[in-house]
Amino acid sequence: MRRYKFLLIIIFFLIFNNFTSGQDPVFTSFMNNPLYYNPATPGIKSGNEFHLNYREQWPGIPSGNRAFNYSSTHVFCNSVALGLIANSSREGESKMTTNSFGLSIAVPIRLSRRLRISTGVTSSYGQKRIDWGELEFDDQYDKLYGKIKSTGFPFPSNSRKNYGDVSFGFALQGKTKRKPFQPQFTGVLGAAFHHAAVFPNPNFIGSDIRAVPFKQVYHFNLWMLYGNKKDFGISPAMMYEKQGPLETYNFSFSYLMDKIYVLGGFRNRNYKLAVGNYDSFFLGFGFISDINPLSKSSYRFGYNYDFTVSKLAGGSYGTHEVFVTFNLKGCNSFSELFKKGKLERVRRPSKECRDFHFEDKLYW
């Protein structure tokens, strides 16, 4: 019996170490959560943006995951851009909670009037917590009466780990000239490297496995807007993530109809489009409206649902995701949004701001 119990403890150590090195939460609407995926995105934004995202993955499973994300980007004309980000997630029956808060600094470089590149770095403080009392072991169960005993597993004395985290990324944004009765193209290409430096390693049980594995992200999206006001459009998008041994390909297609847009796509385990490689298909919709038509400030909100097609499809009930975004345009968007309690015409921005002003209600 002792040998059997010792073997179970070893197996738990191996499983738990892999569990603590789990992946970052994955958001379906990655274009509506740009700073989460790339620290360089503040440098290709305009004005001030605020993002809220909530994701509930597999609500039908007791160990389903929940994730919340807040981020904002603040652009100071063509000099520097700042970003703030806060993340919180809970996963597993042990109710492991990961919270982090970070500051991003991005520097945009203008290559031409309609092309710019941005480099950015995010420095974060994180904390992992686990409720040891939620874990159960076989020595707690009696064959006849069920769970009536206490476990002899030697729990670690520490249920909380703090760590620092550094990530960096690059983003390139370009657009064609806006002409009447002709489509306008805007595209973004980027790469980001998350958890490049994590100190100290927040493992609860000694191991060489990184509790926060290194992650690579590569993304691309293209918007083709048409109509006199460029309020109709289509957008293909792709993102590749690799963290530890796991990799994910996210393909989506969006269609904008005035103030309404719909989204469809799928998530794949690798580049091969085979039936056994699909993880989920997703559908979404959203609404876009102006806060102040004269300032071009806007807000949008949306909902996405993931149809799980992997082996967890039976009782997972898919994944739900909602998001809200506020986009305040202009270098002085806060002071120019409303004046004296009524809507007024916004002051024309400086030439430096106009050179960097991109119509990014939807795209990065």
**Domains, the chain, with CATH or none:** 2-152+160-355 (2.40.160.40)
| pLDDT value of position 298 | 84
pLDDT tens digit string along 23-40?
Answer: 799 898 888 899 999 999
| pLDDT value of position 227 | 73
pLDDT tens digit string along 275-289?
Answer: 667 788 999 999 988
Average per-residue pLDDT for the chain: 79
pLDDT tens digit string along 50-81?
Answer: 999 999 987 877 667 889 999 999 987 667 89
Distance (Å, whole) CA 123 – CA 135: 33
The one-letter amino acid code at 115 reads L
What the block records as the tokens of 167 is: 């990530």
The reply to whether omega before 202 is within 30° of 0 (cis) is: no
Residue 259 phi/psi, 5° resolution?
-105, 0
| pLDDT value of position 312 | 67
Instruction: Give the percent of the chain with pLDDT over 70.
Output: 76
Q: Is the pLDDT of residue 174 over 50?
A: yes
- Size of the chain, expressed as the number of residues it contains: 364
Residue 134 phi/psi, 5° resolution?
-85, -10
Three-class SS state of 298 = strand
Q: Is the pLDDT of residue 86 over 70?
A: yes
pLDDT tens digit string along 296-346?
Answer: 678 899 999 999 887 666 667 889 999 999 988 755 544 444 444 444 444
Q: Is the pLDDT of residue 347 over 50?
A: no
What the block records as the tokens of 175 is: 């657009």
Beta bridge partners of 167: 122
Using alpha carbons, select from 189, 125, 191 the residue that is nearest to residue 161: 125
Beta bridge partners of 119: 107, 170
Using alpha carbons, select from 233, 217, 237, 236 the residue that is nearest to residue 225: 233
Q: Are 98 and 126 in contact (CB under 8 A)?
A: yes
Place of tokens 């808060």: 101
Higher pLDDT, 206 or 337: 206
Instruction: Give the percent of the chain with pLDDT over 90.
Output: 39
CB atoms within 10 A of CB 93: 13
* No. of helices (H) and no. of strands (E), the chain: 4, 16
Cβ neighbours of residue 60 closer than 8 Å, sequence gap 6 or more? 315, 316, 317
The percent of the chain in helix, strand and coil, each rounded to the nearest 5, is 15, 50, 35
Mean of pLDDT values over 109-114: 89
The one-letter amino acid code at 319 reads T
Q: Are 150 and 135 in contact (CB under 8 A)?
A: no
Q: How far is CA 144 from the centre of its chain?
A: 47
Three-class secondary structure assignment of 166-234: EEEEEEEEEECCCCCCCCEEEEEEEEEEEEEEEECCCCCCCCCCCCCCCEEEEEEEEEEEECCCCCEEE
Mean of pLDDT values over 120-133: 90
Mean of pLDDT values over 232-239: 92
| pLDDT value of position 208 | 61
Distance (Å, whole) CA 264 – CA 244: 27
Mean of pLDDT values over 218-231: 83
What the block records as the tokens of 278 is: 């699909």
The one-letter amino acid code at 173 reads Q
pLDDT tens digit string along 187-200?
Answer: 999 999 999 999 88
Q: Is the pLDDT of residue 360 over 80?
A: no
